[in-house]
Amino acid sequence: MTNDFLDNLGAEQYQKMHQPKEIKITPETYEEMNEEFVREGLAFTIKVPTQEAIDKWRKANYPNGVKPRTK
């Protein structure tokens, strides 16, 4: 009985680890990065795109909505 439980637990964890992760990028993401750059004393910022521009770029680069895995 214990082995079945551990096998199921291991299989569930494996599935969680190997599912594509959807990361939501918003204009706030860029604003937070710019704030971090200021705190770090870096001499540059990133232009903050609109949500429409972000969605358009993602759709053009990742038609399935998920970045392909690299090894």
Domain limits, the chain: 20-71
Q: What is the pLDDT of residues 13-71, one digit of tens each?
A: 777 776 666 778 999 999 999 999 999 999 989 999 999 999 999 888 887 766 666 65
Token pair recorded at residue 4: 């079945």
> How many C-beta neighbours within 10 Å does residue 29 have?
15
Closest CA to 46 of 60, 25, 32, 61: 32
Q: Where does the chain have alpha helices with state H?
A: 2-17, 27-40, 51-61
> How many C-beta neighbours within 10 Å does residue 8 have?
10
Whole-model pTM? 0.58
